[in-house]
Amino acid sequence: MKADKMLQNFKLTPVDQMGINERIVRIKARSIKNETKAQGLKMALNMIDLTSLEGADTPKKVSQMCYKAMHPHDSMQGLPMVAAVCVYPTLVKTAKNALKGSGVKVAAVATYFPSGQTNLKAKLDETSYAIGEGADEIDMVISRGKFLQGEYAYVLDEILAVKDICHASNVRLKVILETGELGSFDEVRKASDIALQANPDFIKTSTGKIGQAANMPVTLVMLQAIWDHYQKTGVQVGMKPAGGISDAKTALHYLMMVKEVLGEQWLTNEWFRFGASRLANDILMQLAKQETGLYQSAGYFSKD
């Protein structure tokens, strides 16, 4: 198998847990000027993958979410659109039609999201189906069970197979590690390094379907893996923390962290995304406060 050869000289990069936590404390302690804050909030809004991944999702609900993706708030001028909407494969066509001509991308979860517990053929068939429905991006999940058993070549071969299908159709690939199921920072770094061997377009923290979703320390571990990969190969890979990021202040801390670790070239929605369903509203509330000096009630903003 191709992955066996690719992983022959694979070595674990140990993570300094204390160093990670201390760096996060320093980032969170920094103050942000109001002018910079407004700019950062608009940047963060433009980096959101507005997400609805519920069993109760309907075409009407997805169409409403797509309207919000294009018009974050009708009475606030000069706001950017979000980067993408993220839906199940069966709702890709609905989203694609609703977003036509807007430039907002349609991302589809695939490979038996969120568990990944099925065979490779089923995963590839679902990926092909989502692309056939019009998906611009695929968010795949790795086989965490195989990873935890030490079957790293199996995990990498799956990523490579999905990537081949995506890139043959000019579709970008995000690889979800589900970091909350991996255990230690060392395991997160190992999973990141294995996924990066495939040169996907993004690596992503979480599905948002378990209690332990994205957090800053785990994201920092993944950012460092991306930087080391870039230094070795010259290949730029994006980052997507997802799940649990719901307030604007936290989003700004993430942007500071990305700039510090990877540099400004990663501070576009081509290379950094937030997977979120509630973050957009808090950003809009903060931007309204910047403009008017007053907080609007949560009811002032549409539900996603």
Domain boundaries, the chain: 2-8+15-300
Cβ(27)–Cβ(173) below 8 Å: no
Q: Which amino acid is at 233?
A: T
Active site residue 139: yes
Name the H helices within the chain.
2-6, 17-28, 34-45, 59-70, 92-98, 120-132, 144-148, 152-168, 185-196, 216-233, 248-261, 279-292
Give the pLDDT band (50/70/90) at residue 291.
confident
Active site residue 240: yes
The answer, yes or no, to whether residue 300 has pLDDT greater than 50, is: no
Structure tokens that stand for 193 in this block: 């390094």
Q: For residue 159, what pLDDT is reported?
A: 98
Tokens 């010259």 locate to: 234
- Catalytic residue, chosen from 174, 240, 282, 304, is 240
Q: For residue 23, what pLDDT is reported?
A: 97
Q: What is the pLDDT of residues 181-235, one digit of tens each?
A: 999 999 999 999 999 999 999 999 999 999 888 999 999 999 999 999 999 999 9
Residue with the larger pLDDT of the pair 303 and 18:
18
Query: Taking all residues of the chain, what is their mean pLDDT, rounded to a whole number?
Result: 93
The pTM for the full model equals 0.94
Per CATH, domain 2-8+15-300 is 3.40.190.10? no
- Catalytic residue, chosen from 68, 204, 282, 304, is 204
What is the percent of the chain where pLDDT is above 70?
95
> Which whole number is the average pLDDT over 156-176?
98
Residue with the larger pLDDT of the pair 73 and 240:
240
Q: For residue 57, what pLDDT is reported?
A: 97
- Catalytic residue, chosen from 139, 157, 193, 282, is 139
